[in-house]
Amino acid sequence: MANPLVSICIPTYNRAAALRESLKSICGQDYAPLEILVSDNCSEDETEQVCREIAREDPRIRYVRQPRNIGLYGNHNFCIEESRGEFLGLFHDHDERSTQIVNEHVAFLRRHPDVGVVCSDWELIDEAGRVIGVRDWQVKPVTPGLEYINQTIRSGRSPIGIPGALIRRSALGAIRFDEKGPIGFGDFVMWFQLAEHASVGHIPKRLWRWRQQRHSQSARTIESLTHDYFLNLSGYCDAHLARWPEHADLVARWKADIRRYLFWALAFEIGLHFRNASVVTSRRSHPLTLFEILDYRLSPEEFQHARQQLRVYRTGPVQSAVYLVISLLMRLKLTWPLAWATYHYSSLRGLLGLR
């Protein structure tokens, strides 16, 4: 049986140098047939020159330059609409990939026709290409869709990373990114919609590398992301309930889990803020989170906003009591316990049911 066409879509904007390297790893994939669609969101650097130069050498590349900037998710949606493959991936323009990633993902999707999207483990790298973290997900090879939604909303984490995922077009259907919604966690909403009708796949191999840059969307502080997270996931819950009115109890639990997760995430960030200036020497018991890798300090305004958000998202007697304890410790300037807790965040997540 002939291999199905795979579309690798690269929405890009003002990253000419990184794009050149990224295209090399994509063009070097050991899979055929491959369509490589580059959608340039009206870049102001040398992106057009780089793409046209490489496209002359590789007929699989189709370069499209947008006449105006259509936004991040508008560009993603354009790629989905314009691509023709049975399977498609939205690969970022500055990451690295194994030359086997497409082959492995296609083989997985062909073995599991009920799976709508598959992703693998990955590594985090800095701008120089050094490994600064890993994401090894302890999940099943195939997770039923509703179970995936439950796990993700409960934990606040998804084993699907856009730059390393391959999507089955028939499962995606008319699902698209919300171009008017907040950018942060907009991908969660799309995966959730897909998971309403399909399972989610995972390959326990590190097949790609996520390049972390300080000015990327993923490098934002927790307190700045809470608004996006709450709006996107709460909006999804309302839309899910409209489609599945029999899931009223389930949606109510999801909404409670959203607020619960945000409270503990903000508490973690407050602890990190004090840890940066503390003398705590305990060894961490978990892989570094992105927020630890970035090693940022909240500004006074950001810190005050985090405290306000912590108060807003507290639910139930336990979180109310924790909020009071945190406030008391800060008032007494006894903040080392907050810093200490961040070194044991993984264990605490288990105790708090955030897995």
Residues 192 and 246 in one domain: no
Can you give the pLDDT at residue 282?
46
Domain residues for the domain of 87 are 6-219
Q: Looking at the domain assignment, is residue 125 inside a domain?
A: yes
Q: Is residue 88 part of a domain?
A: yes
Q: Which pLDDT tens digit goes with each residue over 8-67?
A: 999 999 999 889 888 988 999 999 999 999 999 999 999 999 999 999 999 999 999 999
Looking at residue 97, which CATH number applies to its domain?
3.90.550.10
Q: Do 207 and 251 have their domain in common? A: no
Residue 276 pLDDT more than 70?
Answer: no
Same-domain check for residues 261 and 196: no
285 in any annotated domain: yes
Q: What percent of the chain has pLDDT over 90?
A: 79
Are 8 and 26 in contact by the 8 Å Cβ rule? The answer is yes
Q: Report the distance separating Cα 139 and Cα 148, nearest Å.
A: 10
With a CB cutoff of 8 Å and minimum separation 6, the contacts of 13 are: 40, 41, 42, 43, 47, 69, 75, 93
Q: Are residues 178 and 290 in the same domain?
A: no
Question: What's the CA gap between 115 and 278, in Å, rounded?
Answer: 46
Mean pLDDT over the full length of the chain: 92
Kindly tell me the sign of the dihedral angle through the C-alpha atoms of 44, 45, 46, 47. Answer: negative
- Check residues 276 and 106 and name the one with the higher pLDDT: 106
Residues 126, 199: one domain? Answer: yes
* Residue after which a domain boundary falls, among 219, 242, 267: 219
> Residue 165 falls within a domain, yes or no?
yes
Please tell me the distance from the alpha carbon of residue 293 to that of residue 125, in angstroms, as a whole number. Answer: 10
Distance, CA of 58 to chain centre: 30
Q: What integer pLDDT is reported at residue 353 of this predicted model?
A: 76
The 10s digit of each residue's pLDDT in 241-258 is 999 999 999 999 999 999
Give residue-wise pLDDT tens across range 297-345.
Answer: 889 999 999 999 999 999 889 999 999 999 999 999 999 999 899 888 8
* Region label for 109, one of left (φ > 0), alpha (ψ between -120 and 50) or beta (otherwise): alpha
Confidence category of residue 214, pLDDT binned at 50, 70, 90: low
Do 160 and 43 lie in one domain? The reply is yes
Residue 217 is predicted with a pLDDT of 61
- In this structure, is residue 237 part of a structural domain? yes
Question: Stretch 120-132: mean pLDDT, rounded?
Answer: 90
58 and 164, same domain (yes or no): yes
Tokens of 159: 């084993």
Rounded Cα gap, residues 326 and 310, in angstroms: 10
Q: Which residues contact 171 (CB under 8 A, 6 or more apart)?
A: 115, 116, 117, 194, 197, 198
Cα distance between residue 198 and residue 171, in whole Å:
7
Mark which of 190, 219, 248 sits at the end of a domain: 219
Domain termination residue (choose one: 172, 190, 219): 219
Judge whether residue 128 has pLDDT over 70: yes
Query: Is residue 1 included in any domain, yes or no?
Result: no
Tokens describing residue 80: 């989905």
Mean pLDDT of 282-293: 65
The answer for residues whose C-beta is within 8 angstroms of residue 250's C-beta and 6 or more apart is none
Q: Are residues 24 and 139 in the same domain?
A: yes
Residue 39, in any domain of the structure: yes
What is the pLDDT at residue 343? 86
Same domain as 82, residue 44: yes
| pLDDT value of position 280 | 44
pLDDT at 352: 79
Number of structural domains the chain divides into:
2
pLDDT at position 278: 46
pLDDT exceeds cutoff 70 at 281: no
291 with 206, same domain? no
User: Is there a single domain that holds both residue 175 and residue 92?
Assistant: yes
Residues 142 and 37 in one domain: yes
Tokens at 99, concatenated: 């030359």
Separation CA 345–CA 290 (nearest Å) = 13
The pLDDT of residue 175 is above 90? yes
Q: How confident is the model at residue 346 (pLDDT cuts 50, 70, 90)?
A: confident
> Which pLDDT score is estimated for 185?
95
SS3 content of the chain, % helix, strand, coil (to 5): 50, 15, 35
In this predicted structure, the answer to whether residue 279 has a pLDDT above a threshold of 80 is no
142 occurs within a structural domain? yes
- Cα torsion for 326, 328, 333, 334, to the nearest 10°? -70
pLDDT of residue 233: 98
Output the pLDDT for position 88: 98
Cα 171 to Cα 199: distance, rounded to the nearest angstrom: 10
Q: Which residue has the higher pLDDT, 7 or 218?
A: 7
- Work out the pLDDT band at 349, boundaries 50, 70, 90: confident
